Amino acid sequence: MQNTEYEREFVFDIDEYLIEWYPSMPLSVRRSICKLALDELDGELLHETIDVIVAEFALGKQGLTKKEEELEEEDD
């Protein structure tokens, strides 16, 4: 039986974040910051992030991991 229940939504409360990390910020400033942040946030960036995760997941499933670069020791 396949599990059909899983997390699939991302919710971020900007106001809650501001209250927690900038406790002295007044409501009027928080409102302005929330508006600016929502205007700036772009679904395209989230899509790109998901695409990177999909690619990494697919490569990992195939065992196709990139070889890590070895640090070259400098001779003095």
Is the pLDDT at 16 greater than 70? The verdict is yes
The more confidently predicted of residues 62 and 17 is: 17
Q: How confident is the model at residue 2 (pLDDT cuts 50, 70, 90)?
A: confident
- Helix/strand/coil (H, E, C) string of 12-28? CCHHHHHHHHCCCCCHH
User: What is the pLDDT of the chain when averaged over all its residues?
Assistant: 87
Total-model pTM:
0.62
Using alpha carbons, list the distances in angstroms from residue 2 to 5, 8, 11, 14, 58: 9, 16, 25, 35, 20
pLDDT for 35: 95
Q: How confident is the model at residue 46 (pLDDT cuts 50, 70, 90)?
A: confident
